[in-house]
Amino acid sequence: MRAPPAPFRILGREAIRTALPLAACIDLMRDTMMVVSNGGARLPLRTVMPLPGEAGAFALMPGFLEDPAALGAKLLCLMPGNAARGLSSHTGVVLLFNSATGQLQALLDAAEITALRTPAATAAASRVLARPDAGDLALLGTGEQAFAHLAALSLVHPLRSVRLWGRDPEKARSFAARAQVSIAAPITVCGSVEAAVDGADLICTATASAEPILRGRWIGAGTHVNLVGASVQSAAEIDGEGVRQARYFVDYRPSALAQAGELARAVQAGEVGWDHIAAEIGEVHLGRHPGRADGDDITLYKSLGIAAQDLAACTAVLAVAEAENLGLLAEL
């Protein structure tokens, strides 16, 4: 006997922003990564299907999370050419299912969820890995994730200055003007990556570069680096020296071993072994790993993004949406 149709909620950008503020998402991502490192998630590796030519890629990220109980998948189109069209480079949906019955509970805007959970997870990691007094940020990239990461990092670090670099100087100047409205620290556009990281004690890379833009020899003692842009093994934002000299932390060890391009290149070059991973960030949040050993350590957090982050964010959004009747109700 076929069950009667169950309503599900459709939640777009505004509903997601209303339901889950960035500051709350930072703590949520901390808690989520603790669950992951406690073995409370099932996370198959991301499947990425390249599209013909240079159109982009289609990605599938399924997963199950124990606490809060969540089952679902993100279906995402990665379209680099969308920026020229005035569209997001990330577009798709997250499907959230009832983990007991399998019925569809919600369909959410994947671009907005990704733009929220990724910088929140980075900020949570940066908060425990950077020096407490870190505040001079080098931000490499001028896209959506760079903008979101600046907002998130400003919530966990007392920023004194922001040095911004982008391949297109005009885009960098426009980015700085928009960001300066909400960021108290002065934002300076730099002509090179080396100039941007000179004197920085925080570095965040959020680029689409396939080849390293950041060199280890430019990074000063005590700096914390967040690598965000490269999410496939064929791409890398930092060179092997940068990997070798850093205490290297990851969001999820199986993903990093399979898809962290910077680590793979360093291993292939004989600069480090696969055991160079110091810990998952959840292990640091849990207190099982100390993270930074002293003030001179260079620490590095490699963000690949995992389905557990999407599921936790979507579950939190859905709870508020149901309480406040946000979004639209539909039936299959």
Q: What is the pLDDT of residue 301?
A: 98
Give the whole-angstrom CA distance, residue 223 versus residue 246. Answer: 9
- Scanning the chain, the segments in alpha helix (DSSP H) are 13-19, 22-37, 110-129, 144-156, 169-180, 193-197, 240-244, 253-259, 261-268, 281-285, 307-324
Chain CA centroid to CA 41, Å: 18
* Neighbouring C-beta atoms of residue 241, cutoff 10 Å: 17
130 DSSP 8-state letter: S
Q: What is the pLDDT of residue 1?
A: 56
Give the whole-angstrom CA distance, residue 98 versus residue 59. Answer: 22
Residue 123 dihedral angles phi and psi, to the nearest 5°:
-65, -40
Chain CA centroid to CA 10, Å: 24
Strand 247-250 versus strand 299-302 pairing type: parallel
Torsion sign, CA atoms 89, 93, 99, 102: negative
Torsion sign, CA atoms 93, 124, 296, 218: positive
Q: What is the pLDDT of residue 38?
A: 97
Matching residue, tokens 């426009």: 174
Q: Using an 8 Å Cβ cutoff, are 214 and 242 in contact?
A: yes
Q: What pTM was computed for the model?
A: 0.94
Low pLDDT (below 70) residues in the chain: 1-3
Q: What is the pLDDT of residue 90?
A: 80
